[in-house]
A and B are shown apart, each in its own frame.
Chain A
Amino acid sequence: MKKSIPGPVSRAGNIPTRMGSWSTIKPVLKGKCNFCLLCWIFCPEGAISQDEGHRQVLFNNEECKGCGICVRECPTGAIEMAEPEQGERP
């Protein structure tokens, strides 16, 4: 049998959705983040990324829908919801 599809099947040629405009409030790190990654794993939108250098998480306002799961699941209570400044809005 011959291999006719090279490599992984995905070539990712899509235009991603960005649903950040659905929410006017966004998560912000206010307290001490211990880099436990619980908020990261639970975010349904994949809107949280890891800043390895500073050992803390980053929020992508363009993809975050403001559900508040990260705020509730953070064990140190480091995240708060806030309305971003005018220029920072998605």
Chain B
Amino acid sequence: MKLKEISREELFRSSYGCAGCAAVLAVRLTLKVLGRNCVCVVPANCISTVSCYYPQTPFFVPMTVMAFAATGAALSGISAGFRRRGREDISVVGFSGDGGTADIGIQSLSGAIDGGYKFIYICYDNEAYMNTGIQRSGLTPYGATTTTTPAPCFETESKKDMLRIVAAHDIPYAATACTSYPLDFMQKVARANRVNGPTYIHVLAPCPTGWGFAPDRAIELGRMAVESGFWRLVELENGKLRTTHKPSRRRSVAEYFAAQTRFRQLSPEQIEEIQRNIDRRQAAGQAFSATG
């Protein structure tokens, strides 16, 4: 896949999202791969909030807003309907936030993967319930402040390893990605789209509003997350885990943390501890190395 070969059609554009929102970018890039022949399911989250101002919408493909907990169920149901009508060529894609995936929607996601229908579940991970005002979620990393874990306190649980959770369902295809690596991400969406079964892509989407950085640094932040080993770009196909991109440059997690305000209250010792955990997890080859 090359930049020049990518579709120029914009099927999600100029939304009500904050300036510099990588979650919005994730949706735009996904629809560039899937094209017009797709149907989107979006539960309560930033994407549905920035898209539904009747009569306007940034979506140029059909989308439905779903109950917070029901993304997986809606994806299976729509996909089952298309299968019944012999229209398995239509892609059915869900865009769920981290809270909608790892907390409230997890049973429906689990049931949907078990059900075996063809769909792409995209979890865009901005590491908190951003839409309602930055509350911590099961995917908020250790050490981050949110409005429910305010400074001088911070989140004391580590990120749920969603990839291992979906892998435990023997899912045919799952991957992690980051909006700062658009070709890697889009390739994964294309691969997922070719699978005739449930697929899951977990894309890290830096959020200027919730993480505390200037909008123009959204791409840089994602790059720092990968280069510091905080986030890994991997792919799981039929049970085999493969690293799709190894950063050529290594940064310290301290550098990544310093670029945003949500880790400000951590002491150098605490950051060192997090770095040790990341190094340990990386050595053990675990999918997510976000803290311990």
B14 engages A19 (CB within 8 Å): yes
- B59 on the A face (CB < 8 A): yes
- Rounded to whole Å, the gap between the CB of B240 and the closest CB of chain A is 29
CB within 8 Å for A17 and B8 given contacts A22-B19, A63-B14: no
B35 engages A8 (CB within 8 Å): yes
- B90 on the A face (CB < 8 A): yes
- Rounded to whole Å, the gap between the CB of A5 and the closest CB of chain B is 6
- Rounded to whole Å, the gap between the CB of A6 and the closest CB of chain B is 10
B220 engages A3 (CB within 8 Å): no
A38-49 vs B, Cβ < 8 Å mask (1 yes, 0 no): 101111111101
Contact of A17 among B11, B53, B219 (CB under 8 A): B53
B60 engages A42 (CB within 8 Å): no
Contact of A16 among B35, B58, B90 (CB under 8 A): B58
Q: B90: which A residues are within 8 A, CB to CB?
A: 5, 9
- Rounded to whole Å, the gap between the CB of B12 and the closest CB of chain A is 7
Q: Which of A19, A20, A36 has the most CB of B within 10 A?
A: A19
Task: Give the dominant DSSP class at B's interface.
Answer: loop
Q: B24: which A residues are within 8 A, CB to CB?
A: 44-45
Total count of chain B residues near the partner, CB < 8 A: 47
- Rounded to whole Å, the gap between the CB of A69 and the closest CB of chain B is 5
Task: Please measure, in the bound complex, the distance between the C-alpha atom of A18 and the C-alpha atom of B58, giving whole angstroms.
Answer: 8
B15 engages A17 (CB within 8 Å): yes
Task: Please measure, in the bound complex, the distance between the C-alpha atom of A18 and the C-alpha atom of B216, giving whole angstroms.
Answer: 20
- B160 on the A face (CB < 8 A): no
Nearest B-chain residue to A42, judged by Cβ: B219
- Rounded to whole Å, the gap between the CB of A45 and the closest CB of chain B is 5
Nearest B-chain residue to A49, judged by Cβ: B8
Task: Give the dominant DSSP class at A's interface.
Answer: loop
Q: A2: which B residues are within 8 A, CB to CB?
A: 85-86
CB within 8 Å for A10 and B28 given contacts A19-B15, A22-B19, A72-B216: no
Q: B116: which A residues are within 8 A, CB to CB?
A: none
A1 engages B85 (CB within 8 Å): yes
Contact of B14 among A17, A72, A73 (CB under 8 A): A17
A47 engages B14 (CB within 8 Å): yes
A12 engages B60 (CB within 8 Å): yes
Q: Which B residues fall within an 8 A CB radius of A?
A: 3-4, 6, 8, 10-17, 19-22, 24-25, 28-29, 35-39, 53, 55-62, 84-87, 90, 182, 214-220
Sampled A-B contacts (14; CB under 8 Å): A2-B86, A8-B37, A9-B39, A10-B37, A10-B60, A10-B62, A16-B13, A17-B16, A44-B17, A46-B14, A47-B14, A63-B13, A69-B20, A72-B216
Additional A-B contact list (12), CB under 8 Å, known A42-B219, A44-B25: A1-B85, A8-B37, A9-B38, A9-B62, A14-B56, A16-B60, A19-B16, A42-B25, A46-B12, A63-B14, A67-B19, A68-B215
